[in-house]
Amino acid sequence: MKRLFTLCIVHCALCIAMAQGWPSNYGGVMLQGFYWDSFSATKWTKLTSQADELAQYFDLVWIPQSARAKNSTSMGYDPLYWFSNYNSSFGTEAELRQLITTFKQKGIGTIGDVVINHRGNVSNWVNFPAETYQGVTYQLQSTDICRNDDGGATLTWATNNGYELSANNDTGEGWDGMRDLDHKSENVQANVKAYLNMLLNDLGYTGFRYDMVKGFSASFLGKYNSEAQPQFSVGEYWDGNASVVQNWLNGTKVDGVIQTAAFDFPFRYTARDVVNQPTKGWTALGGTSVMSNTSYRRYAVTFIENHDTERRSNAAQDPIKADTLGLNAFMLAMPGTPCVFLKHWIDCKQDIKGMIDVRKAVGIKNTSTYLPFRSNKEYYAVITTGANGRLLTVVGNTNHANILDAIDTEMWVNVAEGYHYRYYMSTALETPWVDKASGAYESSVTVRMTAVSANPEAQLVYTTDGSTPSATNGTRCASGTTLDVTEEMTLKVGLLDGGSVTQVVTRDYVITKPYDGPTATIYLKDPTVAPHNWASVYFYAWDATGEVNDQWPGVKVTADTTIRGNKFYYRTFRVPTSTYKFNIIFNKGGSTGQTVDITGLNSDHYYEITSTTNKYTVRDITDEMTSDQVKGDVTGDGVVDIADVNAIIDIMLGKATASSFKGKADVTGDGQVDIADVNAVIDIMLGHNA
């Protein structure tokens, strides 16, 4: 009996520990595995194919709401189904299950996006789908809608059409986009609890990211998590005031225990201000956040950018305009649980890999402590204490004399650096280090091997064949030795201490050869002159495979060439396979002023803009620019003269057909042969146009 009682106590203690929202002393890193409209780039099958690489660096991957939504193409924030339809814009249910299973096998926990503040309707304002799951039918009713939904518009419609709403008003902020759910309703609670249980125990999610938690009382989220027991939970409480976010966390308590983490929006705004408010500069990183509070940093999920703040093609949002690399370096060196944005991972993968390598080597946890070292507008330096040692991080002007003079080189060793960031490990770590992360590099990569040791005479020993280095196996070298890697290699480096190797780090390098396959060059006739007068020319390109995946507004194009008297801006793309296609938008470089989407490209094309207002239309003039014939030479005799004018007139009068001539009588390209073509030829003859 005593043994049974003891086991019950242990079981209850484990339940309480799991119910505390986010583990304490957690050293994992999270990836937001999507961005806005990333339907092709982050479909389930594509994420599954990346599992091996992701598992080396990320412990958690957050993916979009995965059930079928109200709109046919959707990011999932207009939820319709909870139980019965998991064929979404990102793939099928089978593909989703395979993704979650593969991630789990590789050691990655999948975080599901849970949208329970609001829900879509089937055919009118208040009817929800009936779904049968494991023999039980779940359906929300009109009486599950908050009485003051949509500022009272829903109530008016319901009354006029014979429906009842809940007697309760919303317990949080309203949102007019869909029907706000009344979480006081027992039916809503029963549906939500069954839904969460299915996500965890059927689909296999590890935890939840709750959307728009300002929309309902924190107490309900606490109740749901207390029963569902996710390993991880994070709420999107979108507020820049750290105290307000912390109050929300306290609102989720059950039996005095916080039930979830929160995205650290105050941290994000602090990071944003470094770049977007130059008067503050890097010293702004000392601002207050959830992460900066020792009592709450365990529950802080820090981030630099997400799908709601990034720059989109159709909206400015609130993007960080520069220095995302330095800001990621700061975030990954600090306590809390960092959440890397997928676009940053794609654009700066090797740097971010190195940052995560350093974080995990130092043993930085979500509850680690830190102390500011020095800072001003030009830089910020901070020392973080991990489980294995300390890390000195400098972001901003990493060569500032004030910092360099203060660094004791007997205590700190530079192990990694890049644009606006530098990492120094404390010599107490006693470990070898290689500054370049594992991964693919084009042509070659030069790596620096460092002995992080209190012994200034410490040596290293390395192997390049995958074997374990030892005092008798491998090449000995001094700290700071560089090695040029020009072929695929497994590099293992050991720290030699007293005749034996005490620690070993491993790097796997793949060397890719420069691309020598086919390319496609896209040309745009100069839009910087009248009638368009663009100040700048940007090419925004994307595809379904990730071969090209620009961040809006894309690449500023300055390369130009003159073809047949016309100036063209151009950009060249790889064409890796015969079936490969990419898409492009020409734009001015801002949130307004762009062309329509141009899709399905895999060869050279020439375009000119044909309208003067948003969205600009374009005309494909490839045939005209690549034809051997000179434009306007209707007769094909090599010159543009009165004979070409007469040929067009004959066609207009029915005396001849366009096919009678070697050239194109439709000089203007408007689909007909008329007086405009005559005038175009005359202009060419006079040198007014080419």
Closest listed residue to residue 302, CA positions, set 261, 341, 345, 331: 331
E strands within 153-222? 179-180, 207-210
Closest listed residue to residue 328, CA positions, set 304, 296, 354: 304
User: Do the first three CATH levels of 2-117+197-372 and 519-626 match, i.e. the same topology?
Assistant: no
Q: Report pLDDT digits (tens) over 107-125.
A: 999 999 999 999 999 999 9
Q: Report pLDDT digits (tens) over 549-570.
A: 888 899 999 999 988 788 999 9
Q: Count Cβ atoms below 10 Å from residue 589 Cβ, excluding itself.
A: 18
Q: Count Cβ atoms below 10 Å from residue 166 Cβ, excluding itself.
A: 23
Question: 590: burial class by Cβ within 10 Å (0-12, 13-18, 19+)?
Answer: middle
DSSP characters over 266-295 = HHHHHHHHHHH-TTTGGGGGGS--STT-TT
Sequence-distant (6+) residues with CB within 8 A of 682 are 645
- What pLDDT, on the 0 to 100 scale, is given for residue 664? 72
Question: 664: burial class by Cβ within 10 Å (0-12, 13-18, 19+)?
Answer: buried
Name the strands in the sheet holding 555-556, side by side, starting at the edge strand that comes first in the sequence: 555-556, 538-543, 582-587, 598-601
Higher pLDDT, 641 or 66: 66
Mean pLDDT of 380-398: 97
- What pLDDT, on the 0 to 100 scale, is given for residue 655? 79
- What pLDDT, on the 0 to 100 scale, is given for residue 18? 45
Q: What's the CA gap between 494 and 497, in Å, rounded?
A: 9
- What pLDDT, on the 0 to 100 scale, is given for residue 673? 84
Provide, for the chain, the percentages of residues in helix, strand and coil under a 3-state DSSP scheme, each rounded to the nearest 5: 25, 30, 45
Encoded tokens for 395: 């972001």
* Displacement of CA 634 from its chain's centroid (Å): 52
* Displacement of CA 345 from its chain's centroid (Å): 7
Domain range 519-626, its CATH number among 2.40.70.10, 2.60.40.1110, 3.30.1490.20, 3.20.20.370:
2.60.40.1110
- What pLDDT, on the 0 to 100 scale, is given for residue 1? 36
Mean pLDDT of 496-508: 92
Q: Where are the alpha helices (DSSP H) in 107-137?
A: none
Q: Report pLDDT digits (tens) over 566-590.
A: 899 999 999 988 888 999 999 999 8
Mean pLDDT of 161-167: 98
Q: Is the pLDDT of residue 12 over 70?
A: no
- What pLDDT, on the 0 to 100 scale, is given for residue 663? 56
Model confidence at 11, pLDDT cuts 50, 70, 90, reads: very low
Beta carbons of 218 and 252 less than 8 angstroms apart: yes
What is the DSSP-derived secondary structure letter of residue 677?
A: H
Give the count of alpha carbons within 13 A of 581, CB side only. 8
Higher pLDDT, 104 or 456: 104
The pTM score is 0.79
Place of tokens 């070659």: 444
- What pLDDT, on the 0 to 100 scale, is given for residue 129? 97
Closest listed residue to residue 610, CA positions, set 532, 529, 689, 690: 532
Model confidence at 614, pLDDT cuts 50, 70, 90, reads: low
- What pLDDT, on the 0 to 100 scale, is given for residue 314? 62
Q: Give the least confident one: 7-16, 381-390, 436-445, 512-521.
A: 7-16
Q: Is the pLDDT of residue 598 over 80?
A: yes
Computed over every residue of the chain, the mean pLDDT equals 91
Nearest 10 degrees: CA dihedral of 437, 460, 416, 547?
A: -20
Number of H helices, E strands in the chain: 16, 34
- What pLDDT, on the 0 to 100 scale, is given for residue 662? 56
Beta carbons of 182 and 168 less than 8 angstroms apart: yes
* Displacement of CA 505 from its chain's centroid (Å): 29
Beta carbons of 366 and 333 less than 8 angstroms apart: no
Q: What's the CA gap between 434 and 447, in Å, rounded?
A: 7
Stretch (H or E) spanning 685:
helix 675-686
Model confidence at 79, pLDDT cuts 50, 70, 90, reads: very high
Mean pLDDT of 229-258: 98
Closest listed residue to residue 287, CA positions, set 265, 262, 309, 256: 265
What class has domain 376-512? mainly beta
Beta carbons of 523 and 625 less than 8 angstroms apart: yes
Domain locations in the chain as residue ranges: 2-117+197-372, 376-512, 519-626, 642-686
Q: Tell me the CATH number for domain 2-117+197-372.
A: 3.20.20.80
Q: What's the CA gap between 307 and 319, in Å, rounded?
A: 10
Mean pLDDT of 249-265: 98
Q: What's the CA gap between 138 and 196, in Å, rounded?
A: 13
Q: Is the pLDDT of residue 261 over 70?
A: yes
Mean pLDDT of 122-149: 97
Q: Is the pLDDT of residue 688 over 70?
A: no
